[in-house]
Amino acid sequence: MVLHKLTLRELQDKLTQGEVSAREIVHAYYLRISQVEPKIKAYITQAVDSARAQAEALDQKLKNWRRTMPLMGMPLAIKDNICTEGVLTTCASRMLGTFVPPYDATVIARLRGQGYLLLGKTNLDEFAMGSSTENSAFGPSRNPWNLGYVPGGSSGGSAAAVAADECVAALGSDTGGSIRQPAACCGVVGLKPTYGRVSRYGLVAFASSLDQIGPITKDVADAAVLLNVIAGHDPQDSTSADVSVPDYTRALKKKDVKKLKIGVPREYFAEGLDPEVEQAVRAALDQLNELGGEIIDVSLPMTGVAIATYYVIATAEASSNLARYDGVKYGLRSKQAKDLLEMYMKTRQEGFGPEVKRRIMLGTYTLSAGYYEAYYGKAQAVRTLIRRDFDAAFQEVDLIVTPVMPTPAFKLGEKIEDPLQMYLSDIYTISVNLAGIPAISLPCGFSKVGLPIGLQILGRPFQEETVLRAAYAYEQATNWRTRRPTIR
């Protein structure tokens, strides 16, 4: 039995039936990791000893305790910007290269409550700033479908780990597309929940008004299972919403999209969209139509200014959030400094990479006294208009369907020298964060050279159920998920 090929629900079944033990699961996964990780480099840290100890304890408990929980014994990978008590959490930055959090993020505490197994912490662009994992201080991850290509980012390590069967499922974080875009690049499923749906407590902040944690999984059903566990109000996060959480697996019953109106925003099918991607997404729309959905043209007129708006707001919030790394409280402290001020400056100079520094400078500039209204104030006003675009569209339709990325995954090194080109790869994902709505990315085809193409489904706030229903119906009607990468 090849355990690492199973989905989370399949693996859970085997554990519940007593066909495998948690110890065997851990063993199988680290064997798989030892085989492919030298090529993929999805992990920053492997938590081998603690995973074994967790598995032993769980097996002991299972001897006379038959209660099962969906995440019990499930081997997960966690993006390395989510705090795990006692396990290194680096944000792929030299600044936090030795940081071991004294507490768990709320999402981790919930997983732990179910008896999950933490296999390790996955690679990302430093502080989640980027679209390829090439901004990691510890080197890039690789795309399992073709090692010369990026796995996307910033949650590229998590997406690559799921695609390469180095974990059964993973968590990522999404500020402007960082769950959905790498999921699309790696041919897996990534869900960004509504802002406030999942607690951000213990997620190292990048841009607090945009950040959201979510699942990256092998299929849509697994995403629903994981969301069930991590969603819900948390008093420790003042932006977490006190909205009741449905059972998301209920969304998987219908297998059709009857009576649903599906909007296609014309601005998303314009110049710059790769023809292969357009073709795959249009074919998916036909499929959704066959499944009973009514396809309707909609307009999101502010689409063209979304990237500019995002890069003012995200960098402003980042510059403020990253002010805490001063060499005093945690992480790196420069050894070169003669006095306090020099210690601050040298620590930040040595600890942050070029992209993080670029964003701190941009954000500090747009927040400075003379420019605040012209840039930050203006961007906030435009953000409201972007949200209104979606409000208006969702008056007419239940869901919106778009590409995830203008092209399939690009080559390692292709965009790293040109930050603006890199920023443009998020054109279809960023507005979702500015509007705070939920969206899922799932495979809808392959390019001629064999790279996955992603389909994005957007929903109304807190309507993850409808998003999951449509994604599941589409997934079950097609067989993209059966294609798996051969790593060589």
Contact residues for ligand GLN, defined by CB under 6 A: 128-131, 154, 174-178, 206, 314, 426
Q: Which of 313, 374, 351 is nearest to 127 (CA)?
A: 351
Nearest distance, CB of residue 318 and ligand GLN, angstroms: 8
Q: Of these residues, 131, 132, 178, 319, which one is catalytic?
A: 178
* Contacts of 186 by beta carbon, 8 Å cutoff, 6+ apart: 143, 144, 145, 151, 152, 156, 159, 160, 162, 163, 409, 452
Q: Where are the beta strands (DSSP E) in 288-382?
A: 294-298
Q: Count Cβ atoms below 10 Å from residue 1 Cβ, excluding itself.
A: 9
Q: Which of 177/202 has CB closer to ligand GLN?
A: 177
What is the separation of C-alpha 370 from the centre of its chain, rounded to a whole number of angstroms?
36
Nearest distance, CB of residue 379 and ligand GLN, angstroms: 14
Q: Of these residues, 79, 192, 218, 415, which one is catalytic?
A: 79
Q: Is 98 helix (H, G, I), strand (E, B) or coil?
A: coil
Q: Which of 92/288 has CB closer to ligand GLN?
A: 92
Tokens of 113: 């409550």
Tokens 């208009």 locate to 385
Active site residue 79: yes
Task: Give φ, ψ of 398 to 5 degrees.
Answer: -95, -30
Q: State how far the Cα of 387 lies from the Cα of 373, in Å rounded to an integer.
A: 20
Nearest distance, CB of residue 322 and ligand GLN, angstroms: 13
Q: Is 377 helix (H, G, I), strand (E, B) or coil?
A: helix
Work out whether the CA dihedral 428, 432, 437, 440 comes out positive or negative: positive
Q: Which of 104/125 has CB closer to ligand GLN?
A: 125
Q: Which of 29/201 has CB closer to ligand GLN?
A: 201
Q: Of these residues, 131, 132, 141, 154, which one is catalytic?
A: 154
Q: Which of 25/77 has CB closer to ligand GLN?
A: 77
Residue 357 CB-density burial (10 A; 0-12 exposed, 13-18 middle, 19+ buried): middle
Active site residue 240: no
Nearest distance, CB of residue 441 and ligand GLN, angstroms: 12
From residue 259, how far is each of 254, 393, 397 by CA, in Å?
A: 12, 17, 10
Active site residue 141: no
Q: Is 237 helix (H, G, I), strand (E, B) or coil?
A: coil
Nearest distance, CB of residue 433 and ligand GLN, angstroms: 7
Q: Which of 46/131 has CB closer to ligand GLN?
A: 131
Nearest distance, CB of residue 142 and ligand GLN, angstroms: 18
Q: Which of 130/202 has CB closer to ligand GLN?
A: 130
CA dihedral 453, 393, 383, 243 (to 10 degrees): -90
Nearest distance, CB of residue 128 and ligand GLN, angstroms: 4
Angle between helices 220-230 and 106-113 (to 10 degrees): 100
Task: Give φ, ψ of 194 to 5 degrees.
Answer: -55, 145
Provide the annotated active-site residues.
Answer: 79, 154, 178
